[in-house]
Amino acid sequence: MKRILNTNEFLHGGDYNPEQWWDEPDVINQDFALFKQAKINTVTVGIFSWAKLEPEEGNYDFSWLDSIFDRVEEMNGHVVLATPSGARPAWLAQKYPEVLRTDNLGNKRGFGGRHNHCLTSPIYREKVREINTKLAEHFGQRKSLVLWHISNEYSGECYCESCKNAFRDWLKNKYGNLDNLNHAWWNTFWSHTYNDWSQVNPPSPLGEMGNKGMNLDWKRFITDQTISFIDNEAAPLRKITPNVPVTTNMMAGNPLMDPFAGFDYQKVAKHLDFISWDSYPAWGNDNQTTAELGRNVGLVHDFFRSLKHQNFLVMENTPSRVNWHSVDRAKRPGMHELASLQDVARGSQGVLYFQLRASRGSSEMFHGAVIEHLHPEQTRAFKDVTTVGKDLENIRPIINTNYAKARVAIVFSYDSYWALQDAESYSKDKKIWQTIQKHYRYFYKHDIPVDFVSVEDDFSNYDLLIDPMHFLMSKAYLKKLASYVKNGGRVVGTYISGVVDENDLAYMNEWPKELQDIYGVEPLETDVLYPGQSNTLNFDGHEYKAHDYCETLINCRGKVLAKYASDFYQDTPAVVEHEYGAGKGYYLACRTDYDLLEKFYEKITANLIPEFPVKKFSSNISIQVRENKDQKYYFVQNFSDKSEQIKVDGELEDLLEKKIDRGEVVLNPFGSKIYYKKGN
Ligand code: GAL
């Protein structure tokens, strides 16, 4: 059965920890009064509440949470109920020390912190299953329960004996025998051949860190361990509450805004019903404009939406500031509304915060909150949240729409990302995510919807695939890509692609045949440049710079779109277009600045640029569409601190200000318009 988040309004609210205030009923009364004022309709409860839910082993006390459900139901609100496995009570860690993690130096961790548990420990899994069962039995029939939020921001690894044994079992299952493993990991190198499974250990600075196959398999193992932990958590929830979807909050890094890569989110997503993520961009930082950061955030929204190719939820963001960036700057006036509406524009079914009320003590006491310690109703955060609450009410029908269909997709493979990052060559920082961001910039500028695809996704719905720095390509992927192009698809590939196979072993003798067929060339050598060095290339009569990586190409059978202008490969091809079957491959052999990518994509995307009933004149403006078969909604947003002009063709209804706009319209600094147009 397909379980989806099913509400008729946007969720607005967030992490709430009333257990911290249980002996102060006035505080809780004040919270609910303020929720009403700020148009908060959702609380996410139970995260990190295990000690209050099960104060002693087997002795559960859910009465406090019952009364929170009652209060939420009195206001016709929603509860996102978390399972508490992200942090465990002291009694549990003391009685069953095996549940705590061991690091890669063999140090056993003590009680404390959070996310400090072994993913393999049978006792921990059993304890989690027990409390999840009790929670589902107790709260499963509550009408306000809309979503299960399992654990919190899964991450991390454990290197205890049970995890080592589980890794060995995983390897036995994958390779069958040690000969296969020795070959796949190329273990004759440095005499690393194993002749007994007990000799195999996870990567560790105390032992082996340089074995590429091992490092890659360890990441894959951690992915599978996390998945089996998730399945274990979710099993009782799915059984007892078959209609309530299961999610967990995913993460993106800061300041790069790259998706967490500790394990493979694309694989994990298959074990969740719904995707949610925690969005903490450093708005107002000193080295990026808001428009640039807005673009990177748009990209990562697209990444998370694409994990299931359906709407998602921003599970956390801050109403003002965090407490863990290098500088915890609060959002500028207007920024919170802009960012929140961007979440919705890209497919979020709500705007949720960490946190509704600020803790009084401990590590997150100074993190921004809807309800702060002092003058809670007067803070900018509270007022900003109230504004967003009103906006979400005004745009309520949009809940029944989806993000516009994309015809362009970026291929992202965790295996390839890990393997290339781990490759001891090229340069230390290969800037893979920055490369994706640079290609994406063109599509963002023209408001062309972009999806991400995994190597296992169906490509047939896309006109154009962007496949940059795809270092590790499995034989299955090569076949699939070739057949996509042969059947009429187009793909843009770049330098450092198709270098190794699924075991991280180099392809031999010639570049994979499929890539030669697609791109009509073969790379021979990669010239790696120091940061201060560059080459030039000529494209359409203009000179552009090449940096970092310049591949020399041989056996060129395609149309040369650009040639290098200097160095020992002067006058050799740098950008090649090649027809294959009914489709085309474009190969960019070097890293360039954005200016070349812009010219290049202009040539090949004319059929992809959408037409809107509203025109923009600046790349600070983003126009995103959510739609269903009868309706279209245009989110027009100004990511700059200056006013910008737009032009409406005919008339459009502005849902936020509830009026009709015509002709030239001014968008305020950080301002948004959400226009409705009937029909498709
Ligand atoms: C998230 C986490 C929350 C809280 C928040 C602070 O990563 O899930 O529990 O710590 O960060 O920004």
Q: Whose CA is nearest to atom 4 of ligand 1?
A: 354
Q: 322 CB less than 6 Å from ligand 1? A: yes
Per-residue burial over 211-237, b = 16 or more CB atoms within 10 Å of its CB, e = otherwise: bbbbbbbbbbbbbbbbbebbebbbebb
CA 48 – ligand 1 centroid, Å? 11
Return the DSSP state at 630. Answer: S
Atom of ligand 1 at shortest distance to CA of 280?
A: 12
Give tens-digit pLDDT for 565-623: 999 999 999 999 999 999 999 999 999 999 999 999 999 999 999 999 999 999 999 99
Confirm or reject: Cβ of 316 under 6 Å from ligand 1. yes
Indicate the pLDDT class of residue 4, thresholds 50, 70 and 90: confident
Q: How many other CB atoms are there within 10 angstroms of residue 400's CB atom?
A: 11
Predicted local distance difference test score (pLDDT) of residue 677: 84
* Nearest by Cα to 331 from 623, 621, 10, 641: 641
Question: Does the structure show a pLDDT above 70 at 38?
Answer: yes
To test the pocket of ligand 1, the residue of 48, 153, 313 to mutate (highest count of ligand atoms within 8 Å of its CB) is 153
The mean pLDDT value of the chain amounts to 97
16 within ligand 1 shell (Cβ under 6 A): no
Separation of CA 300 and ligand 1 centre (Å): 18
pLDDT band at 679 (very low <50, low <70, confident <90, very high): low
Question: Ligand 1 center to residue 561 CA distance, Å?
Answer: 48
Closest ligand 1 atom, CA of 114? Answer: 9
List, as own/partner pairs, every contact residues 105-114 make where C-beta atoms lie below 8 angstroms and the sequence separation is at least 24, other chains included: 105/204, 105/205, 105/206, 106/159, 106/204, 106/206, 108/160, 113/87, 114/48, 114/86, 114/87, 114/152
Residue nearest to atom 10 of ligand 1 (CA): 364
Pocket test for ligand 1, best of 116, 154, 278 (most atoms within 8 A of CB): 278
pLDDT of 680 over the 60 cut:
no
Q: Which two tokens stand for residue 667?
A: 């968008």
Q: What is the mean pLDDT of residues 482-491?
A: 98
Q: What is the mean pLDDT of residues 283-312?
A: 97
Is the pLDDT assigned to residue 181 strictly greater than 70? Answer: yes
pLDDT at 460 over 60: yes
Q: Which of 592, 601, 593 is nearest to 574 (CA)?
A: 592
367 CB under 6 A from ligand 1?
Answer: yes
Q: Which of 364, 365, 366, 370 to mutate to test the pocket of ligand 1 (most atoms within 8 A of CB)?
A: 364
Give the distance (Å) from ligand 1 centre to CA of residue 317: 9
Please say if the pLDDT value at position 179 is more than 80. yes
Q: Give the distance (Å) from ligand 1 centre to CA of residue 354.
A: 7
Strands 78-82 and 42-45: parallel
The overall pTM is greater than 0.85: yes
First vs last C-alpha separation in the chain: 30
Question: Higher-confidence residue: 2 or 27?
Answer: 27
The angle formed by the CA atoms of residues 360, 35 and 331, to the nearest 5 degrees, is 65
Q: 627-662, pLDDT tens digit by residue? A: 999 999 999 999 999 999 999 999 999 999 999 999
Report which protein residue has its CA nearest ligand 1's atom 11.
354
- 45-80 residue pLDDT tens: 999 999 999 999 999 999 999 999 999 999 999 999
Q: Is 278 in the pocket of ligand 1 (CB under 6 A)?
A: yes
Q: What is the DSSP letter of 200?
A: -
From the alpha carbon of 152, which atom of ligand 1 is closest? 8
Span from the CA of 358 to the centroid of ligand 1 (angstroms): 12
**Mean predicted confidence (pLDDT) in 329-355:** 98
Average pLDDT over residues 464-471: 98
Distance CA 230, CA 56 (A): 24
Residue 424: pLDDT above 60? yes
Q: Is the CB of 516 under 6 A from ligand 1?
A: no
Indicate whether residue 469 lines ligand 1 (CB < 6 A): no
With a 6 Å cutoff on the Cβ, whether 354 touches ligand 1 is: yes
CA nearest ligand 1 atom 5, residue = 354
Kindly give the number of the ligand 1 atom that is closest to the alpha carbon of 318: 12
Active-site positions?
A: 153, 316
User: How far is the centre of ligand 1, averaged over its atoms, from the C-alpha of 420 (Å)?
Assistant: 29
pLDDT for residue 323? 97
Burial of 327 (0-12, 13-18, 19+ CB in 10 A): exposed
Q: Whose CA is nearest to atom 12 of ligand 1?
A: 322
The whole-number pLDDT of residue 565 equals: 95
User: Measured in angstroms, how far is the CA atom of residue 278 from the centroid of ligand 1?
Assistant: 8
* pLDDT of residue 6 exceeding 90: no
pLDDT in tens, 345-374: 999 999 999 999 999 999 999 999 999 999
Q: Distance from the CA of 323 to the center of ligand 1, in angstroms?
A: 9
468 cis-preceded (ω within 30 degrees of 0): no
Closest by CA to 563, choosing from 582, 580, 583, 546, is 546
Average pLDDT over residues 305-326: 97
Helix axes 432-445 and 290-308, enclosed angle (nearest 10): 100
pLDDT band of 2, cuts 50, 70, 90: low
**Cα–Cα separations (whole angstroms), residue 120 to 99, 127, 198, 590:** 9, 12, 18, 44
Nearest to 5 by CA among 347, 239, 345: 347
Q: Kindly report, residue by residue over 69-123, the tens digit of the pLDDT.
A: 999 999 999 999 999 999 999 999 999 999 999 999 999 999 999 999 999 999 9
Please write the tens of the pLDDT for every residue from 264-278: 999 999 999 999 999
pLDDT per position as a tens digit, 507-534? 999 999 999 999 999 999 999 999 999 9
